[in-house]
Chains A and B, each alone.
Chain A
Amino acid sequence: MWEVAARSYRRQSTYRAATAAGVFTNTVFGFILAYVLLAVVRERPVIGGFDAVDVVTFTFVMQGMLMVIGIFGSLEIAERVRSGDVVSDLYRPVDFQAFWLADAYGKSTFYAIFRGIPPFLVGALVFHLRLPASASIWFEFFASVFLAIAVSFGWSFLLQLTSFWLLDVKGPHQLGWLVAQFFSGVFVPVVFFPAWLGAIAHATPFPAMAQLPVEIFLGKHRGLDLLGVYAQQVLWVAVVLGAGRIMLARAMRKVVVQGG
């Protein structure tokens, strides 16, 4: 599995111009969203426990995390189902879901370094950003991102497996990720949501993909509270990966391999 992740990392590292272009885009969006949110907290200094420094830091950490957690989704597995190549994946002596999860971790490691850090650094040139106060928060943040990647992979896996039933999965793919982006706090922090909408958000796996790790980065969760956040994330990892396994088992009953 380690080897799968390492190869996936190396594959990503070949697209240099695309990486630079992506960093540019994340940074531009960071600036736009940061300015909008700053204008909001100028009207009311603390919203949902976030002050001006929090919202700007939130925005740039979030922009850096987008690719790490893969919030725009992937169609790689779906494409292999469509073309039939999935059969060779299923023949491998490794677990299908674990294989692709390892692949996701490899990519994420690359993105964490090359897409995660630069937007934050550029943001720090213009705005006052808050770095974690202690080394332990860094460690807690990385642990939370590690779990977040599994949640978002689990969601991706579910969406992509619909390709065993649907001819064209782009519709569900797009819808599924738009909803995920909104409820994981990509456009506006979940703590800004009115109470009822926040309750809906926390009944979904999406805050566990992005909002919660960034809150940990900002030092909002300490002690028992922090354990509670991890518990939420672990729960969602279990739910989405478990649902993925059930769905895969169902799909396997449908697969008919042609050829000879």
Chain B
Amino acid sequence: MADVADDLQVYRRLVGARIRSDWQYRTSFVLFLLSQSVVAGLDLAVIVVLFSRVNAIAGWSVTEVALLYGVAGLSFGIADLLVSQVEIASQHIKAGTFDLFLLRPVGALLQLCAMEFALRRVGRSVQPAIVLVVALANAHINWTPDKVALLPIAVISSVFIWGSIWVLTSSLSFWTIETQEVSNSFTYGGQTLSHYPIDVLGTWLRHFVVFVVPLAFTSYLPVAYLLDKPRSFDLPRGLALASPVVAAVLVLAACAVWRLAVRHYRSTGS
């Protein structure tokens, strides 16, 4: 336990230092913050444009899709803020500067996440959070205690799922170095996908997001639970409640693969 407390303190200090240093370039910080919320805003704009032409997508109304966007966007935004920094590992590996992280007496993953922490990424979660609240107020939900409990659990699990996907795909670059873009398919691609009901996808891709890379757990299953919507493949409604288990499995897998990747690391030398 003492280790964890130490780590947390180091993390807090590193993040604090990083925020102070970013704040020195105020104009740049504000512009970046703005562009991060534009990112989230454009995702929403796409949904609005599509619904300007039709009333439903795969049987989901605009409010229902907004709910998906809210849950997916908020959890992805938080994971983006806390974990997305691992993708910088590939640059460090290429430049040979990853050695520095291994020399210090704190875990490399923690260092990366703390030292490359960028507060401006908060801009990415604000908008989906607002949309989530508005959509919750407008959607027809028969609130029951299980649904009230599910919502926060689903968002938190989803944060862990996104974070794990980030670590898993970034670990790949320890072997291949130049393939960071592949992780974009799973992170940003998965994010785009999770704004829509998975019913739009072809059967094989739907199987993939339920059983292989469990993106369906990040927004689709929990939101279908809240709205009492019929689910693809007649998946049991209660499956939504399993999202913490899915998240836990992924986190363990991500930690194992990351450790393997770091052990595999050989410096490029000079």
- A22 CB, min distance to chain B CBs, angstroms: 5
- Complex-state Cα separation, A166 to B29, whole angstroms: 13
Beta-carbon nearest neighbor of B36 in chain A: A174
Whether A32 lies near B46 (C-beta < 8 A) is no
User: Digit string of A169-196 for contact with B (CB within 8 Å is 1, else 0)?
Assistant: 0111011001101100001100011100
Residues of B within 8 A of A182 (CB): 42, 45-46
Residue in chain B with minimal CB distance to A168: B28
Chain B residues with CB under 8 A of A35: 200-202, 205
Contact in complex: A197, B178 (CB < 8 Å): no
Q: Of A25, A38, A42, A197, which is within 8 A of B49 by CB?
A: A197
For the complex, give the distance between the alpha carbons of A18 and B183 in Å: 12
Q: Are A17 and B49 in contact (CB under 8 A)?
A: no
The total of chain A residues at the interface (CB under 8 A) is 41
A29 lies within 8 A of B35 (CB): no
Nearest CB of A to B24, in Å:
11
Contact B182 A21 (CB under 8 A): yes
Task: Check B32 for interface membership: any CB of A closer than 8 A.
Answer: yes
The A/B interface has a contact count, at CB < 8 Å, of: 108
Verify if B233 is at the interface (C-beta below 8 Å from A).
Answer: no
Residue of B nearest to A33 (CB): B192
Given A192-B49, A194-B49, A171 and B32 touching (CB < 8 A)? yes
Report, as a range, how many residues of chain B touch the other chain. 35 or more
Q: Which residues of A contact B46 (CB under 8 A)?
A: 182, 187-188
The complex places the Cα of A179 from the Cα of B50 at a distance, in Å, of 18
**Is the C-beta of A206 less than 8 angstroms from some C-beta in chain B?**
no
Give the docked Cα–Cα distance between A27 and B233 (Å). Answer: 25
Q: Say whether B45 contacts A40, CB under 8 Å.
A: no
Q: State the Cβ distance, B121 to closest chain A Cβ, in Å.
A: 12
Which of B53-61, B143-151, B262-270 is the interface stretch? B53-61
Is B248 among interface residues, defined by CB-CB distance under 8 A? no
The reply to whether B53 and A44 form a contact with Cβ atoms under 8 Å apart is yes
Asked if A24 meets B181 with Cβ closer than 8 Å, knowing A175-B31, A175-B34, the reply is: yes
Per the bound structure, the CA–CA distance linking A181 and B45 in Å amounts to 12
Segment 36-54 of A: residues with Cβ below 8 Å from B: 36, 38-40, 42-44, 47
Is the C-beta of A133 less than 8 angstroms from some C-beta in chain B? no
**Does A15 count as interface, using CB distance less than 8 angstroms?**
yes
What sequence of 0s and 1s flags, for each residue 192-206 of chain A, a beta carbon within 8 Å of any chain B beta carbon? Answer: 111001000000000
Query: Is there a chain A Cβ closer than 8 Å to B177's Cβ?
Result: yes
In the complex, whether B164 has a CB less than 8 A from a CB of chain A is no
Q: Which of A168, A171, A172, A181 has the most CB of B within 10 A?
A: A171
How far is B261's CA from A141's CA once the two chains are assembled, in angstroms?
Answer: 45
The CA of A145 and the CA of B192, in the complex, are separated in Å by: 27
| Assembled-state Cα–Cα distance A126/B54 (Å) | 25
A17 to B175, CA, bound (A): 11
- The answer to whether residues A28 and B179 also contact, given A39-B58, A171-B35, A193-B49 and a CB cut-off of 8 A, is no
Chain A residue, CB-CB nearest to B33: A171
A-B contact pairs, 25 of them (CB 8 A): A17-B177, A17-B178, A18-B178, A20-B179, A21-B181, A25-B185, A28-B189, A32-B193, A36-B196, A36-B200, A38-B200, A39-B196, A40-B50, A40-B57, A43-B56, A126-B202, A167-B28, A171-B28, A171-B31, A174-B32, A175-B31, A181-B42, A187-B42, A192-B52, A192-B53
Chain A residues near B (Cβ < 8 Å)? 15, 17-18, 20-22, 24-25, 28-29, 31-33, 35-36, 38-40, 42-44, 47, 126, 166-168, 170-172, 174-175, 178-179, 181-182, 187-188, 192-194, 197
Closest 5 CB pairs of A and B: A171-B31, A39-B200, A21-B179, A43-B54, A28-B185
Known: A175-B31, A194-B52. 11 other contacts (CB 8 A): A17-B179, A18-B179, A18-B181, A32-B192, A33-B192, A39-B58, A40-B57, A44-B54, A167-B28, A192-B53, A197-B49
